[in-house]
Amino acid sequence: MLKALMSVAVYSIGILFKKDSYKNNTMLDMLSISIEVAIAAYGEAKYDSWGFFLQLGAVVFEATRLVMILILLTSKCINLNPITSLYYVAPSCFVFLSILWIFVEFPVLKQKLGFHFDFVIFGTNSLCAFALNLAVLLLVGKTSALTINAAGMVKDWLLIAFS
């Protein structure tokens, strides 16, 4: 349920970075979403504070990433298209995620599953991730960070419906 807070976070961070303008009606909608998510989280039978704060942090970081991408793609001082943006953003994401993966995931995989590196699976997953990131950058560059968030919510609804 905390994923529903993404639109609130994107709108709030967009206002903070002056990419969105404050509107009373929109803020009222965002507050109602926040209250509904809080009620759903409070009513969770297996509520875990640590998991709640981790997920909340993930929402804030993802919203910040989307707004920063919007700033990169629409800034007049910086002339980046989606491919160039991906050229600069992807290596830094790879480095930071690899560091965490080596210390957190790799020891567990090696110990429990006898992990071996499969280049075909890794290559196809990498290609899918590249296509997804390119699509996100194209959509954010043409519309806004809130639009990509709304598209993500529609995707979640469809996943639930077809499941």
Mean pLDDT of 85-99: 84
Which residue reads 């759903």 in tokens? 40
CB 59 within 8 A of CB 3: yes
CA distance 97 to 108: 16
CB 99 within 8 A of CB 42: no
Q: How far is CA 128 from CA 73, 104, 132, in A?
A: 22, 24, 6
Report the pLDDT value the prediction gives residue 69, as an integer from 0 to 100. 80
At 14-45, the pLDDT tens digits run 889 888 888 888 888 878 877 877 777 777 77
For residue 84, the tally of other CB atoms under 10 A from its CB is 14
Report the pLDDT value the prediction gives residue 40, as an integer from 0 to 100. 73
Report the pLDDT value the prediction gives residue 51, as an integer from 0 to 100. 83
Instruction: Tell me how many domains the chain contains.
Output: 1
Instruction: Name the range with the highest mean pLDDT among 3-12, 79-88, 124-133, 154-163.
Output: 124-133
114 pLDDT higher than 70: no
Domain extent, residue 115, equals 2-162
Report the pLDDT value the prediction gives residue 124, as an integer from 0 to 100. 94
pTM across the whole model? 0.67
CA 81 to chain centre: 20
Mean pLDDT of 147-161: 72
Nearest to 57 by CA among 97, 5, 11: 5
7 pLDDT higher than 90: no
Share of the chain above pLDDT 90, in %: 2
CA distance 26 to 132: 29
Instruction: Name the range with the highest mean pLDDT among 10-14, 72-76, 152-156.
Output: 10-14
Mean pLDDT of the chain: 81
